[in-house]
Amino acid sequence: MNNYISILDKGVRNLGSILSKNSKIDGRIIAFFFLITYFSMIYISSLVMPYDQFWAYLGVPSMSPSFADLRNITSALECDRQGFDPLINNPCDPWNRPMNYPRIWLGLSSLGLDQSHTFILGLFLAVLFYACIFFIVITKRLNVSEGLIYGLVLCSPAVMLAVERGNNDMVIFIFLGLCVFLIQKQRILPYFLILIASILKLYPILGIFIAIRENKRLFIIITSIMSTILFIYFMYIYKDIALINTFMPKSAHISYGSRVIFDGLNVFFQKIPIIGSDGIPEIFRKTFSFIGILIVLVSAYWWAYKNRGLSVLNTEQIDSFRMGAIIYIGTFIIIGNNWDYRLIFLILTLPQLFAGIKNQNELSDYAVFLLIAILFTMYSSLISKMIGGYFVFPLEELINWLIFACFIYVLLLTLPDWLKTKLRLKNFQIDYG
């Protein structure tokens, strides 16, 4: 075992030295070149075949007409003006899908938007999304190795699924990206951005967690105020939330979350005659999921409790990491079945992972694993297409659960001292730079 640990430590040191090397080329140019090449391929392919067919070759299950998720909103605006309730009946949608977003999105109806605006809105949203990444998330110069990894992530099937569908998670990403960018300069605006994002899509309420950077008193004030406001809002729209949950499409394919592995296995059990076509009852699948979550939470806490290493995490990226990690953890537990486009929030964790590898601290090994695991899960649909889903699916779900566990462990280690004392964890000091 010691030999394996020494080999791993050596590998981390080597990777850290590679990522620490400076070069005359800014790695952001390399990442941008990846994107230009990717979209150039999409455009050229559209001249000789349907664009959605080429997307499929790249592991992105596309839909036609384009920007299908954004079209769910623009079609709902049409039906809203016609007197329909799009959350119940949305015949204007090409696939007859009810709108599965909070009703506040229908406020855009007064602007006269309809499906004819979908394409230009989709392009505009994609440009804003990538601009947020290059100018807000990646705030410093990258070396060549970092640029290559960013390029691979930004061109991954998971990220491109969000772009191809025009999914409004990109809007949420922009709000939360701005939040972590401003959090070191502003006191009120960042939390106001989280509030807006939560009103638009509900789950960004998880972003309140980054208020943990504040002192104990301010943290309690901020979380109390925001929780109260959002609780009142959620109670006001609780009927709409029930409708959204009823019609929300879910699948064990191109998805992550605590329920995915059990839903995927259920497809197999449904083929066993003695079990029946319904497979394992949903209540059992939920129970298995809950047990799995509980085991991971207890294990991560125990491992953090046993960690006796004292160090200083000197980084400006901890807020971004916390935001990306808590969105993954929260959606993994609460929603349980998320489409892979929501993995775009893992991009927020990358600056901290690179810093952790280069700084060679106690978290370096976990940073290496998380970096490799994120790349794998983001490319899982393409890998599955190449070598077969029967092998990739269980491996992908194992990796998703390990990402879940590692994020919890790292967040526990980087909690402020006052909270770690209550949890009986050793202090791991943080220097916010």
Q: What is the DSSP letter of 107?
A: G
The pairing of strands 338-339 and 255-256 is: antiparallel
3-class DSSP state of 135: helix
What does the pLDDT read at residue 4?
A: 42
- As a three-state string, the secondary structure of 159-225 is HHHHHHHCCCHHHHHHHHHHHHHHCCCCCCHHHHHHHHHHHHHCHHHHHHHHHHHCCHHHHHHHHHH
- Three-state DSSP string of 224-270: HHHHHHHHHHHHHCHHHHHHHHHHCCCCCCCEECCCHHHHHHHHHHC
Q: Which residues face 430 on adjacent strands?
A: 313
Taking residue 21's Cβ as centre, other Cβ atoms within 10 Å add up to 10
Residue ranges with strand state E in 295-428 = 312-314, 338-339
Per-residue pLDDT at 306: 84
- Answer yes or no: are the C-beta atoms of 347 and 372 closer than 8 Å: no
The predicted structure's pLDDT at residue 414:
86
The pLDDT of residue 282 is 80
pLDDT score for 5 = 41
Residue 310: what pLDDT? 46
Residue-level pLDDT, tens digit, the chain, 433 residues: 445 445 445 554 555 555 555 567 888 999 999 999 999 999 998 888 887 788 889 999 989 898 999 999 999 999 999 999 999 999 999 999 999 999 999 999 989 999 999 999 999 999 999 999 999 998 888 999 999 999 999 999 999 999 999 999 999 999 999 999 999 888 889 999 999 999 999 999 999 999 999 999 999 999 999 999 999 999 999 999 998 888 888 888 899 999 999 888 877 766 666 665 667 778 888 899 999 999 999 999 999 888 755 455 556 789 999 999 999 999 999 999 999 999 999 999 999 999 888 877 667 888 999 999 999 999 999 999 888 767 889 999 999 999 999 999 999 988 888 888 888 887 655 555 5
* The predicted structure's pLDDT at residue 1: 44
What are the extents of the domains in the chain? 22-431
Closest Cα partner for 317 from 370, 356, 345? 356
pLDDT for 25 equals: 83
Nearest in space to 396 (alpha carbons), one of 293, 253, 294: 253
| Residue 121 parent element (H or E) | helix 118-132
- Please measure the distance between the N-terminal and C-terminal CA atoms of the chain and give it in whole angstroms: 37
CB-based contacts of 86, cutoff 8 Å, min separation 6: 75, 76, 77, 79, 80, 92, 98, 99, 106
Say if residues 122 and 98 touch (Cβ distance below 8 Å): no
Q: Are 175 and 137 in contact (CB under 8 A)?
A: no
Identify the pLDDT of residue 424: 82
Q: Do 142 and 28 contact (CB within 8 A), yes or no?
A: yes
Res 357: pLDDT = 86
